Structures are given as C-alpha cells and as structure tokens.
Amino acid sequence: MSISEARSRIVATADELYNAKGIQAVGMDELRAAAGVSLKKLYQEFPSKGSIVLAVLERRHRSWTDGLDATVRQAPTPRARLLAIFDFLAQWFGQDSFRGCGFINSFAELGAVSPDVAEYARRHKASFQDYVGRLAEEAGAPSYLAPQLSILAEGAQTTAAIAGTAEAAGQARRAAEVLIDAALGGGARRAG
C-alpha cells in the first residue's frame, strides 16, 4: 500500500467513524483497526489525532464544495442557482450517513479546546457565505441576501440533524424563495 493510499484510507475511515460516533469517542487504536493499518503507519502519516481531524475537515470541505457546486451549476438561471443550494441540502439530508454538519459538530465537540478546529470551521463557514455571495451577486441581488440565505441553510442543517428528517431542506427552500424574490424587487414569483 502506498503512502497516499494509506493516508487516504485513514482519513476516509476517520471521517466515517467521527461522523457516526463523534471525534472524542474514537480512539487511535479503533481508527487503526478500522483502517487496516498498523499503529506505526498511522503515526507515520499523522503525528497526532489533531492532524487527522484537520485532514478529515479538509476532506469534508472538498466534498461539500464539490457537491454543492455540481448541483448549483446544473441550475439554468441565477435565481435557480440560489435555490439549488437547498436542493443540494435535501439530497444530503436524505443520505443514511447524514448526522448534521461535520463542521458544526466538530466545532461543538472541540472548538473550545482546539483553536485549529475552531479556525477551520470558521473558514469553511466563511467560504460558504462567500460562495452564496457570488451567486447572489450574479442574480443581481443586494449584498444582504447572501448572509440571510447562508443562515437559512445553516439552520436547515442543524434542524435536519436534530429532527432526523430531510423536511428542513424544503422548508428552507420555500423561505429562500420569499427572501430571493423580495431582494430581487417584489414579492412576485420569478421563473427558475
């Protein structure tokens, strides 16, 4: 097994375990066994559990941004691209592995004791808001729309995780339509 294969396997396994059980509940020995690597190999790849957590957050960030962008790019109009954010959330919330936002969960679990985790979570959330800001700008919406839609999406993630259903995505999408239409000049529904 090459170094990159072992590293990828460790990160993927850690991501699954952390998502299912929480970061603090998963020890290095459990991770080693589940990843099928020796403890020596695990520590060669990652000198600490903190370094694994950051690698998992990087993996989650790439997965989130790639998946979100792929869904958004399929939408035909700027307004539809803004609403596609919530379509992406609906798909994600419907997955059996959905346990809420990994960044919110990581921040809640480790943010007070790990400045690196807290900072990574903040950067991830800021990058999402910047992304929504670009979409809002492309739609000709005022700058205040992006943080409103971002907060709506964040609330939907938390609600879906706690409620255990995907309904929050549809509810948030309907609320987003109202916000978008108001921001784009009037309450009338627009095509897209």
13, 29: one domain = yes
**Residue with the larger pLDDT of the pair 88 and 192:** 88
Question: Do 43 and 53 fall into the same domain?
Answer: no
> Are 42 and 116 in the same domain?
no
Q: Indicate the residue type of 109.
A: E
Query: What residue numbers bound the domain in which 175 lies?
Result: 49-183
Identify whether the C-beta of residue 158 lies closer than 8 Å to the C-beta of residue 101: yes
What confidence category does residue 79 fall into, taking pLDDT thresholds of 50, 70 and 90?
Answer: very high
Domain identity same for 42 and 64? no
Same domain? For 169 and 122 the reply is: yes
**Torsion over CA: 36, 39, 40, 44 (sign):** positive
Pair (73, 34) in one structural domain: no
Is 110 in the same domain as 18? no
**CATH at 19:** 1.10.10.60
Domain count for the chain: 2
Residue 1 pLDDT > 70, yes or no? no
96 versus 190: the higher-pLDDT residue is 96
Query: Do residues 141 and 127 lie in contact, with contact meaning Cβ atoms separated by under 8 Å?
Result: no
Residue-wise pLDDT for 128-138, tens only, equals 999 999 999 99
Q: What CATH number does residue 133 fall under?
A: 1.10.357.10
Residues 34 and 17 in one domain: yes
Domain boundary residue, one of 29, 47, 65: 47
78 contact partners, CB below 8 Å, separation of at least 6? 135, 138, 139, 140, 192
> Does residue 108 sit in the same domain as residue 60?
yes
13 and 94 fall within a common domain: no
pLDDT band at 186 (very low <50, low <70, confident <90, very high): low
The answer to whether residue 171 is domain-embedded is yes
Do both 108 and 63 map to the same domain?
A: yes
Does the pLDDT of residue 83 top 90, yes or no?
A: yes
Q: pLDDT tens digits, residue range 13-59?
A: 999 999 999 999 999 999 999 999 999 999 999 999 999 999 999 99
> Terminal CA-to-CA distance of the chain, rounded, Å?
48
Do 90 and 68 meet the contact criterion of CB atoms below 8 Å apart? no
Question: Domain for residue 120, yes or no?
Answer: yes
